[in-house]
Copies of this chain bind each other. A is one copy, B any other.
Amino acid sequence: MDSIKAWAALEKNQPLQPYSYDPGPLGPEQVDIEVDYCGICYSDIAMIDSEWLPTQYPLVPGHEVVGRVRAVGAQAKGVREGDRVGLGWYAGSCGVCRLCLRGENNMCALREPTIVGRHGGFAERVRAQWQWCMKLPDTLDSLRGGPLLCAGVTVFSPLYMHGVKPTHRIGVVGIGGLGHLALQFGRAWGCEVTALTSSPEKFDEARALGAHRVVATGDAQAMRALAGAFDFLLVSARGFAGWDLLIDTIAPGGRLHQVGVVMEQVPVRVRPYLMTWQRSISGSSTGSPSTVAEMLTFAARHGIVPRVEQYAMRDVNAALDRLRSGQTRYRVVLASGF
């Protein structure tokens, strides 16, 4: 096949550069996707900046892809040429291990992150195994689809896997790319939804997105008044100073679930915070293909879409700077064009 034009990080902390690569022959289970839009996620920046493990450069970021299938391998199932599909954080898994067999391919030991050791969606085209190419509901517009594939399933999956009920009172900590979707999912789930944010200027937006009430995380008195308030607390913030205060907002039998990437160790007072009140602490990132499919159906039925700022692909460095600024409302999406 033709080589692929892309934008790549060639070394740590540098602006992306035009780059092209030869993807090689299409594997039998692979799908070749022509990129229409690609969202930018905090994980792209972490990879560009080599924040987690040392990044292998050149790196073509981008894992919130919406595009059209251009070619399918001989063994690929479920998608056909011309289908409109989405691709998120993972682009492959083994398909035969116990986790894959039970539909938890996102924890397969051989799973392949879309932008780790392979190239992603800041490009004309991107490759993925057929299992991870998700067909999109007709009502979902392509511009807004991408962020659902990563940010969307990241906040939907915890509600789904941990049996959150519509009668539950839930809290969402951090109202950004993840949190602004979590508020919408939580409201559509039937829950009483509280937004917790360090940004007073987001109070009204949080209400518009579905929050029944908003609390400032910097207000220690208001936070203390939330003791025992939440059956489920979704933490999308990437760090939190008053961890004890946060855990203590969980109701008896409730759960704090972390989805924002926290790099440091978190000190937990197992007693009394967990033991006396039978609380759980957990975390996750992204979700399985079956969870993505449920999420897309649910989001379509309830009209849940990200709020996005659109940039042209050639302005990718300006778009990255915008995301780094923390001022985004709430997700940045690149429109393809080479």
Interface set of A (CB-CB < 8 Å, partner B): 99, 104, 107, 161, 252-253, 255, 258-259, 261-263, 265-271, 274-285
- Residue of A252, A271, A284 with most chain B CB atoms under a 10 A cut-off: A271
Chain B residues closer than 8 Å to A282, beta-carbon distance: 274, 278-281
Rounded to whole angstroms, the CA-CA distance of A82 and B213 in the bound complex is 54
CA distance A282 to B279 in the complex (A): 6
Give the residue of B259, B276, B280 whose beta carbon is less than 8 angstroms from that of A281. Answer: B280
Which 10 A-B residue pairs are closest in the complex by CB-CB distance? Answer: A274-B283, A275-B283, A280-B282, A107-B252, A265-B267, A278-B284, A262-B270, A280-B280, A281-B281, A266-B268
A99: B residues at CB distance < 8 A: 252
CA distance A278 to B153 in the complex (A): 14
What residue of chain B has the Cβ atom nearest to residue A279's Cβ?
B282
**A275 interface neighbour in B278, B280, B284, Cβ under 8 Å:** B284
Q: Which residue of B lies closest to A238 (CB)?
A: B271
Beyond A263-B271, A274-B284, list 20 extra A-B contacts (CB 8 Å): A107-B252, A161-B278, A255-B280, A258-B270, A258-B271, A261-B275, A262-B270, A265-B267, A265-B268, A266-B269, A266-B270, A268-B281, A271-B283, A274-B281, A274-B282, A275-B283, A275-B284, A278-B282, A278-B283, A281-B281
